[in-house]
A and B are shown apart, each in its own frame.
Chain A
Amino acid sequence: MTATVTTPPQRTPAQRLLRLARRNKLSTVGLILFGLIALAAIAAPLLSSHDPLAQNILHRLEDRSADYLLGTDVYGRDTWARILFGLRVSLLIGLISTALAMIIGSALGILAGYRGGWVDSLIMRIMDMLLAFPTLITGLFIVAVLGANFWNIVLAITVTILPKFARVARAPTIALKEREFVEAARALGYSDVRIMAVHIAPNVLGEVIVLASLWAAYAIRIEAYLSFIGLGIAPPTPTLGTMIREGFEHILDSPFVSIYPGFAVLLVVLSLNLIGDGLRDAIDPKLRD
């Protein structure tokens, strides 16, 4: 710790984040890893010659070979192709639900913090209610009642992690609304909506994004959990969780059928966590050099 204080150059929050993230080697690794995974998912049809849904019963549960890079599953489907296409679904579910939770959750949090009073109480008590359930239970409940399909799973995960965003967005808002620039904006006669969206939201963004990168990993894991216990997307659509579940029945004699998609989940979650850790270090003033 040096005692010298330098005036940091003016940067947009996004630039600041990127710069700080770059300083952290591990999160760079995470970023590259995640980029590669996302690319692989996008380019899935190019990276695999097999149809992820095509069954080949005579070649079921085969180990790695030149033709089947990661072997085949119980229906003789190519595991490599299924992981690539499964990544698409799993990533989409994870990212969409995190994005939704981030947007809605922060909006609610800012609103609660800015307005205070009964609005605050109402929103935050609802969030507390949602938080009172263990995370997986809320998701389970929603999927079990509404049925398992893409959007219901997105909804389940969104609702599960939404309160965390509301909380994180609310606290700084309460501090920010007393600041001069907000008072200035109010004095200029700007509407509350404009103040919240233009003046407060950007200042909350940093923390929310850190949270999002960490919860995105969690969202992908929830998808895998739900699929694993049979509440995932209906077959034959591959998702990483469904693949682990299907392979699990044969874990004793053909463990690779579960292990490969399990490893894919591991990589995705690891990369997102590395990114998130890096971002948090970058943003947290206590850890800043």
Chain B
Amino acid sequence: MKFLNATALSVLLATSALTTDLHAQELTMAVSAQSAGQLDPHVSTRTEDKIVFGMVFNGLVRFAPGSMSGEDIEPDLAESWETSEDGLVWTFHLRQGVQFHGGYGEMTAADVVYSLTRAADPDRSGVSSDYTQFASVEALDDYTVQITLAEGIPSLLGVVANYHGGNIVSARAAEEMGENFHTNPIGTGPFAFDELAEGQFVRLVANPDYFRGAPEIDSITIRYISSASARDLAFQTGELDMIAGTREDRWVTNMTETGEAVVDVFEPGELRTLHINAAMPPFDDIRVRQAVAHAVNREELVAFMGASVARANEAPVPDGYLGHNADVTFLAYDPERARELLAEAGYPDGITVPVAITERASLFAPMQVLQAQLAAAGINVELEVMEHSAWHAAIRDDVSSMVLYGAARFPVADTYLTQFYHSDSIVNTPTAVTNFSHCDVADDQIVQARSEADMDMQMALWADAQQAIVDEVCSIPLFELLQVFARSPDVDLGYELEGSLSLGPVITEQSTLAD
């Protein structure tokens, strides 16, 4: 069959002038990773997988391409929806005739119920904490889904959008394939999964039946190249059309100066936070934690990363998230004071602490800057460098006294506060998420704010929570790092790229590749 197609194509090519139209549009991009994680949107939260989810799956609603603002949420698999007075019952009316990839049939309410239930199930999902307030998800008929909440949540549309748990998978495919689903994901998006070469690339092909229309680009190959210089070289030789950039000023400048690349710097800013494990001596003493806070020089960190891609942030919730507290009072850079505090706490000669860190440059490099800053104040950090996924496992085992972590979440204060600072999320507990600091001082505010109907009151509670976390020095928010990609001028995304929760320039059905 392939042969026949090829023959037919070559005959056409030879006899027709429409060569440009027939030329297969193959886009190749490279991201910074050694291999794909698990290509199941409910399981993997790894950066390099998100861009795949963004192209293979749809949610009930979606963030308009190029935006990550809650105001730009628009219909996706659901054409319309309504909500009850108290905001607890949501009814979604599905688009009809949407087909899953690979002949898995029409997408119906049963798939939506299956997907959301699966996303909420801690045994099958890595993002189940977003769905704890889901009381039930029911199919009223083939094209109507009703979600009932136990309690109000800050943004229901956010958790049914095309972001992690909100992605709708084929119930039949997921059941039939079981464990294998993550190497053969079936969705409804503009591109369908085609092939995964472990440690090399994943290939997606255009879904001609996509409900918004067939994509202009025929196939997308996402290669995994963890070395930045290898990516840059391959891009400069024209082997790649698009690459994940290095988040540094000099890289952005150099790449722009070549004149053969468009550099996209876009939201979200991934907040880099130094979480301090208060359960581990000597950090059980707040004075030692305050000393760390005084020893950290944010300006230098921002200078290191580069002002065009980084900005300082002192609040536990990233800038641009609903509920971010811009006026938080924090401990300023003052290494002298840090030494005094250490002496007061009984460590006049300073302290030495072991810290686990990933080998990945985006965290490893700033950690080394921090190491030098802390050393200047008498806090000696002994780094234990680990492979990225080994490090992820280690920090969740509660073995590191400090954890430098970078993350972008759904842009509402609640997700960040719950996952990083609510006592239920403390690592190494049954309900663990990513509370590395054992912080428990803002539980009340976080819970109250979640279902608070009055917007001002909610904002005040979130501001309160952030101040409490900063006062307790659960963590030291450092700086935000924007997303950086470079693409050939031939690639037209088809939309304005200001932000992407997929952490990359998602290729849509409207994106084009000039010859």
A residues adjacent to B (C-beta < 8 A): 53-55, 57-58, 60-61, 74-75, 147-148, 230, 234-236, 248-253
Residues of A within 8 A of B361 (CB): 249
Residues of A within 8 A of B359 (CB): 230
Given A53-B375, A57-B300; A235-B229 close (CB under 8 Å): no
- A247 smallest CB distance to B (angstroms): 10
B229 touches A236 (CB 8 A): no
- A11 smallest CB distance to B (angstroms): 50
Residues of A within 8 A of B232 (CB): 252
A234-B382, A235-B383, A250-B229 provided; 18 other pairs, C-beta below 8 A?
A53-B372, A58-B303, A61-B250, A75-B304, A75-B372, A147-B384, A148-B385, A230-B359, A230-B385, A234-B385, A236-B372, A248-B227, A249-B227, A249-B229, A252-B232, A252-B233, A253-B250, A253-B254
| Contact string against A for B residues 427-441, beta-carbon threshold 8 Å, 1 for contact and 0 otherwise | 000000000000000
B262 within 8 A of A: no
A252 touches B229 (CB 8 A): yes
Q: A55 to B250, alpha carbons, bound, how many Å?
A: 18
A234 touches B372 (CB 8 A): no
Chain A contact residues: helix, strand, loop or mixed: loop
Given A57-B300, A57-B304, A148-B385; A235-B250 close (CB under 8 Å): no
Q: A252 to B502, alpha carbons, bound, how many Å?
A: 29
CB under 8 Å from chain A, chain B span 426-483? none
- B507 smallest CB distance to A (angstroms): 27
A55 touches B372 (CB 8 A): yes
B229 touches A248 (CB 8 A): yes
Of the listed stretches B47-55, B141-149, B363-371, chain A binds B363-371
Q: Which of B359, B365, B384, B385 has the most CB of A within 10 A?
A: B385
- B114 smallest CB distance to A (angstroms): 41
Closest to B372 in A: A55
B365 touches A57 (CB 8 A): no
B228 within 8 A of A: yes
Residues of A within 8 A of B254 (CB): 253
Q: Which 3 A-B pairs have the closest CB atoms?
A: A55-B372, A234-B383, A57-B304
Point out the residue from A57, A148, A236, A248 that lies within 8 Å of B371, measured CB to CB. A236
- B394 smallest CB distance to A (angstroms): 12
Residues of B within 8 A of A252 (CB): 229, 232-233
CB under 8 Å from chain A, chain B span 360-401? 361, 365, 368-369, 371-372, 375, 382-385
Q: A253 to B372, alpha carbons, bound, how many Å?
A: 25
Q: A250 to B250, alpha carbons, bound, how many Å?
A: 10
B304 touches A60 (CB 8 A): yes
Residues of A within 8 A of B246 (CB): 249
| Contact string against A for B residues 29-50, beta-carbon threshold 8 Å, 1 for contact and 0 otherwise | 0000000000000000000000
Q: List 5 A-B contacts (CB under 8 A).
A: A75-B369, A234-B385, A235-B368, A248-B229, A253-B254
- A155 smallest CB distance to B (angstroms): 18
Residues of B within 8 A of A57 (CB): 300, 303-304, 369
B385 touches A235 (CB 8 A): yes
Residues of B within 8 A of A234 (CB): 382-385
Closest to B251 in A: A253
Q: A109 to B368, alpha carbons, bound, how many Å?
A: 45
Q: Which of A58, A75, A147, A235 has the most CB of B within 10 A?
A: A235
Q: Which of A54, A148, A234, A253 has the most CB of B within 10 A?
A: A234
Q: A55 to B300, alpha carbons, bound, how many Å?
A: 10
Residues of B within 8 A of A75 (CB): 304, 365, 368-369, 372
